[in-house]
């Protein structure tokens, strides 16, 4: 194991310098894009690439404002075994005659974008343009949330999961099924399948209700592993050590196989090579779901931070060695659902959640930031009169009906503590507020060739993530 991990470390060091398929000694930055399912990864990467190739809407990017980006182009995918991010199909979905949202992320994919840059500063003017490769790696956030599993035994994980689902109505069926299970009986594959199925069902519903602590992540996004034994187990309360061949013992074995054959390779092959990371967060969705979902999101952020910059004493820190992700941006997505007058409040909520997460994480420090963005802006702003009050709203075409409508999500509190304190204290709902969400269709009208896609603060996000390398 150690040797394999060492190999992972070596390969990654060379990859960073030479960029594998790129020219020799052309530097490469690997940008990880993650977030839970439907957080907006696919839309983000599509808009990022479109707006980097056509930069009319990217003035917040310093290198662009200084006129130093001479060209940006797509390259063949450098990692032969990783699927290429299907940029062209996703862009066509957003900008075709019937604009629609692209298919979401289901697994890892990658894309290489190359920049021809004129170096900045006094001496920069004296040298010729240089090439920088940006490898964009898209992967489901559910998979990162699995990393803490590597530190846990089956019994510890089971105890945690069973405690968390105790008061969740999404788990009623699984709990009922579990009551009839005796972990000491011999394994029966049909029973194992039924348990795994019911547990997966619960995870899906919990995700739908806004919870983020839904491990194992591959149960929700199994890819080619669907139905394999490594994905056919569920948490059990075993009590005394169970005998060989029993349901409890077999589930423990499968849990260990999941860790070593699913979680660890992902971590070694993809995650450990990332230099910069954006974590997309559907904060508005969580706020809409209520305080529990917000607290759960904060907990997920803690896990994510721990995974990226673990303290040296942890197993992960030891594996990563000196190479760690240098910048992490937590971005609240879909900010186009709010009038810009509320964006600062959304950012303040993200920043406060991040601060709490950092305080609790085993985190060795990296440059972190919080921001509110919309990778693709689907709305325009509008002030509407409602019950005699003027509301700062947004207008767009509704996804369900195709009709235009104005929408007011609710007023976010000026002080993030008004959300975070009840969330931490386990409140069931917000005291005096109600937040809506609405799904708008993408709006490609008025996009001229060479303009990129309309967005909110995508340029600022890119400046934070890679501005120092451009």
Looking at the DSSP bridge assignments, the partners of residue 114 are: 73, 133
Which of the stretches 99-107, 318-326, 358-366, 384-392 binds ligand GDP when contact is defined by CB under 6 A? 99-107
E-state strands within 196-341: 276-281, 327-332
Under 8 Å between Cβ of 29 and 275: yes
Looking at the DSSP bridge assignments, the partners of residue 277 are: 32, 328
Residue 28 as a binder of ligand GDP (CB under 6 A): the answer is no
Residue 439 as a binder of ligand GDP (CB under 6 A): the answer is yes
Q: 């980006």: which residue's tokens?
A: 69
C-alpha span between 147 and 141 (Å, rounded): 11
Half-sphere exposure of 94 toward its Cβ, with a 13 Å CA cutoff? Answer: 27
CB of 307: closest distance to ligand GDP in angstroms? 18
Residue among 87 and 440 whose Cβ is closer to ligand GDP: 440
Q: Biggest alpha carbon distance in the chain?
A: 76
| Peptide bond preceding 93 in cis form (omega within 30 of 0) | no
The edge-to-edge listing of strands for the beta sheet with 367-372 is: 69-75, 109-117, 130-138, 28-35, 276-281, 327-332, 367-372
CB of 442: closest distance to ligand GDP in angstroms? 7
CB of 460: closest distance to ligand GDP in angstroms? 14
Which of the stretches 73-81, 158-166, 271-279, 333-341 binds ligand GDP when contact is defined by CB under 6 A? 333-341
DSSP 281-300: E-HHHHHHH-HHHHHHHHHH
- Which position among 18, 20, 104, 191 is part of the footprint of ligand GDP (CB under 6 A)? 104
C-alpha span between 266 and 296 (Å, rounded): 24
**Closest listed residue to residue 442, CA positions, set 307, 336, 346:** 336
CB of 46: closest distance to ligand GDP in angstroms? 8
Record the tokens describing residue 222, joined without a space.
């199994």
Residue among 360 and 395 whose Cβ is closer to ligand GDP: 395
CB of 383: closest distance to ligand GDP in angstroms? 19
Specify the DSSP class assigned to residue 470. -
**Closest listed residue to residue 463, CA positions, set 16, 47, 48:** 48
C-alpha span between 347 and 373 (Å, rounded): 9
Write the interaction track for ligand GDP spanning residues 32-51; mark x where CB under 6 A is met and - where it is not: ---x-xxxxxxx--------
CB of 45: closest distance to ligand GDP in angstroms? 8
Residue 378 as a binder of ligand GDP (CB under 6 A): the answer is yes
Residue 440 as a binder of ligand GDP (CB under 6 A): the answer is yes
The packing angle between helices 189-208 and 172-179, to 10°, is 160
Residue 333 as a binder of ligand GDP (CB under 6 A): the answer is yes
Residue 278 as a binder of ligand GDP (CB under 6 A): the answer is no
Specify the DSSP class assigned to residue 184. T
Write the interaction track for ligand GDP spanning residues 396-435; mark x where CB under 6 A is met and - where it is not: ----------------------------------------
CB of 234: closest distance to ligand GDP in angstroms? 25
Residue 264 as a binder of ligand GDP (CB under 6 A): the answer is no
Residue among 19 and 217 whose Cβ is closer to ligand GDP: 217
Write the interaction track for ligand GDP spanning residues 186-205; mark x where CB under 6 A is met and - where it is not: --------------------
Residue among 98 and 322 whose Cβ is closer to ligand GDP: 98
Under 8 Å between Cβ of 366 and 358: no
C-alpha span between 26 and 387 (Å, rounded): 61
Q: 């992490």: which residue's tokens?
A: 328
C-alpha span between 205 and 364 (Å, rounded): 34
CB of 321: closest distance to ligand GDP in angstroms? 30
Residue among 45 and 236 whose Cβ is closer to ligand GDP: 45
Question: Segment 335-374, which members bind ligand GDP (CB under 6 A)?
Answer: 336, 374
Q: Report how many residues bind ligand GDP under the rule CB under 6 A.
A: 20
- Which position among 28, 51, 105, 212 is part of the footprint of ligand GDP (CB under 6 A)? 105
Residue among 101 and 174 whose Cβ is closer to ligand GDP: 101
Residue among 140 and 310 whose Cβ is closer to ligand GDP: 140
Residue among 105 and 277 whose Cβ is closer to ligand GDP: 105
Which residues lie near ligand GDP (CB under 6 A)?
A: 35, 37-43, 101, 104-105, 333-334, 336, 374-376, 378, 439-440
């Amino acid at each position: 194991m150690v040797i394999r991990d060492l190999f992972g470390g070596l390969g990654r060091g060379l990859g960073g310098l030479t960029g594998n398929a790129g020219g020799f000694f052309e530097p490469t930055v690997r940008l990880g894009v993650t977030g839970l399912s439907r957080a907006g990864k696919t839309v983000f990467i599509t808009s990022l690439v479109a707006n980097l190739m056509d930069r009319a809407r990217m003035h917040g990017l310093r290198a662009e404002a200084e006129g130093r980006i001479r060209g940006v182009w797509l390259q063949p995918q450098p990692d032969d075994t990783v699927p290429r991010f299907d940029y062209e199909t996703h862009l066509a979905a957003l900008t075709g005659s019937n604009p629609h949202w692209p298919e979401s992320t289901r697994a890892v994919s990658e894309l290489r974008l190359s920049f021809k840059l004129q170096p900045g500063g006094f001496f920069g003017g004296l040298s010729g343009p240089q090439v920088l490769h940006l490898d964009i790696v898209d992967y489901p956030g559910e998979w990162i949330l699995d990393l803490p599993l590597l530190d846990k035994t089956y019994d510890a994980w089971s105890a945690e999961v069973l405690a968390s689902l105790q008061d969740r109505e999404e788990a009623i069926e699984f709990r009922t099924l579990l009551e009839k299970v005796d972990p000491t009986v011999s394994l029966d594959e049909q029973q194992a399948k039924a348990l795994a199925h019911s547990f997966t069902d619960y995870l899906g519903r919990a995700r739908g209700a806004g919870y983020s602590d839904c491990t194992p992540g591959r149960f929700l996004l199994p890819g080619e592993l669907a139905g394999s034994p490594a994905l056919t187990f569920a948490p059990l309360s075993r009590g005394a050590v169970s005998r060989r061949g029993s349901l409890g013992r077999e589930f423990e074995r499968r849990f260990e196989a999941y860790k070593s054959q699913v979680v660890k390779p992902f971590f070694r092959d993809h995650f450990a090579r990332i230099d910069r990371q954006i974590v997309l967060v559907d904060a508005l969705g969580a706020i809409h779901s209520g305080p529990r979902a917000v607290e759960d999101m904060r907990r997920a952020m803690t896990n994510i931070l721990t995974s990226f910059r673990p303290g040296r004493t942890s197993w992960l820190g030891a594996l990563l060695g000196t190479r760690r992700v240098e910048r992490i941006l937590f971005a609240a997505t879909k900010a186009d659902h709010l009038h810009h007058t509320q964006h600062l409040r959304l950012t303040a909520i993200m920043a406060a959640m991040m601060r709490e997460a950092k305080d609790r994480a085993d985190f060795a420090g990296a440059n972190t930031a919080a921001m509110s963005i919309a990778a693709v802006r689907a709305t325009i702003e509008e002030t509407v009169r409602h019950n005699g009050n003027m509301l700062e709203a947004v207008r767009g075409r509704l996804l369900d009906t195709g009709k235009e409508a104005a929408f007011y999500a609710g007023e976010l509190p000026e002080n993030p503590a008004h959300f975070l304190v009840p969330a931490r204290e386990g409140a069931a709902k917000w005291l005096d507020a109600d937040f809506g969400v609405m799904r708008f269709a993408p709006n490609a009208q008025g996009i001229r060739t060479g303009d990129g896609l309309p967005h909110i603060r995508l340029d600022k996000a890119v400046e934070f993530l890679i501005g120092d390398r451009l």
